[in-house]
């Protein structure tokens, strides 16, 4: 009986959050180990389906870096990175589009659908969902308030893009049919070329375009840590900028916090960086009092 009462208390704790977020859009950036570990993959899918059934409108934006690297190596193409950015020439772009827009995207949509909700896989190219522009390091550094350092402006990153605009009507139409959009982070430029875009940045732009209630970014770390290495549960936007300038936030966390800042600037109420290695981390962050990661507020 005690165990049953504990389960009932969990539901009671979740009730205020279910009531507050009913009908609201939550954008989930899906990446890291949560995309490769079989049990975590199943858990992610069930979490997304549960969110849908209790009245939220989840949208999934996924990455796929490790899977792209595996395919490149199978094709004897050496992956290349500069300052953490994948150099994307024409041959690499073909692989990126095949893996992100094909294999991974359809697998995620199918997995969610098998757990009881209708998911629709699409890339940012479909219907002109994501309009892209060439990646510029100066723009990125300006947004973050970071020093360009050794980012030589003359370096060629190939078909790496940034989000110029998101056609939110496509996603709203899918939501109107009670479908869960699953988005591969590709975009199309004015020149008709396909661009490879960081999935974190796409998630932030989608959240802003839809005026989402939350952006949740899954990572392979517990959240954002201070200069002493301690997890910070809540950060204001100005604190994030300060930590970037000091170098406390760096490397792979930079695009994640940039995505969060972009989302907040676009009207999203809260952004969360959580550890996707924790089973059911999404539910713990959204529907419990304590949460499990770092939330960033305006």
**What's the confidence (pLDDT) of residue 139?**
65
The two tokens of residue 284 are 């713990």
**What's the confidence (pLDDT) of residue 267?**
95
The two tokens of residue 113 are 């659908």
**What's the confidence (pLDDT) of residue 120?**
98
Please give the Cα distance from 52 to 25 (Å, whole number): 10
**What's the confidence (pLDDT) of residue 143?**
57
**What's the confidence (pLDDT) of residue 247?**
85
The two tokens of residue 102 are 């094909």
All structural domains of the chain: 16-292 (3.40.1160.10)
Phi and psi at residue 2, in whole multiples of 5°?
A: -60, -40
The rounded average pLDDT for each run of 10 residues, N- to C-terminus, in the chain (298 residues) is: 78 91 97 94 97 97 94 92 82 95 96 96 96 81 56 71 96 97 97 94 97 96 90 91 86 87 94 95 90 89
Q: How many CB atoms lie within 10 A of CB 106?
A: 14
**What's the confidence (pLDDT) of residue 296?**
94
Query: 3-state SS string over 207-248?
Result: HHHHCCCEEEEEECCCCCECCCCCECCEEEHHHHHHHHHHCC
**What's the confidence (pLDDT) of residue 75?**
94
Task: Tell me whether strands 160-166 and 194-197 are parallel, antiparallel or unpaired.
Answer: parallel
Query: Contact at 8 Å (CB) between 182 and 119?
Result: yes
- Which of 16, 20, 68, 47 has its CA nearest to residue 276? 47
For residue range 170-227, list pLDDT tens digits in order: 999 999 999 999 999 999 999 899 999 999 999 999 999 999 999 999 999 999 998 8
- Which of 53, 55, 70 has its CA nearest to residue 17? 55
């Amino acid at each position: 009986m005690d165990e049953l009462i504990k389960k009932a208390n969990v539901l009671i704790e979740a009730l205020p959050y279910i009531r507050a977020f009913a009908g609201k859009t939550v954008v989930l950036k899906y990446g890291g180990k949560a995309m490769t570990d079989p049990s975590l993959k199943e858990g992610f899918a069930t979490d997304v389906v549960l969110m849908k059934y209790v009245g939220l409108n989840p949208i999934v934006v996924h990455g796929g870096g490790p899977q792209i690297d595996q395919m490149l190596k199978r094709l004897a193409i050496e992956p290349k990175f500069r300052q953490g950015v994948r150099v994307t020439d024409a041959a690499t772009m073909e692989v990126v589009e095949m893996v992100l827009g094909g294999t991974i995207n359809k697998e995620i949509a199918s997995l969610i659908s098998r757990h009881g909700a209708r998911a629709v896989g699409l890339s940012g190219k479909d219907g002109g969902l994501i309009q892209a522009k060439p990646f510029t390091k100066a723009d990125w550094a300006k947004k973050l308030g970071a020093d360009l350092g050794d980012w030589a402006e003359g370096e060629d990153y190939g078909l790496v893009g940034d989000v110029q605009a998101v056609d939110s009507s496509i996603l709203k139409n899918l939501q109107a049919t009670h479908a869960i959009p699953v988005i591969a982070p590709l975009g199309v430029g004015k020149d008709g070329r396909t661009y490879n875009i960081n999935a974190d940045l796409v998630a932030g732009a989608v959240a802003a375009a839809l005026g989402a209630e939350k952006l949740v970014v899954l990572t392979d770390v517990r959240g954002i840590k201070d200069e002493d290495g301690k997890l910070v549960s809540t950060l204001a936007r100005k604190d994030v900028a300060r930590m970037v300038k000091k170098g406390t936030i760096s490397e792979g966390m930079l695009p994640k916090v940039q995505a969060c800042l972009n989302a907040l600037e676009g009207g999203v109420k809260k952004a969360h960086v959580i550890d996707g290695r924790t089973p059911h981390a999404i539910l713990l962050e959204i529907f419990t009092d304590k949460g499990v990661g770092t939330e960033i507020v305006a």
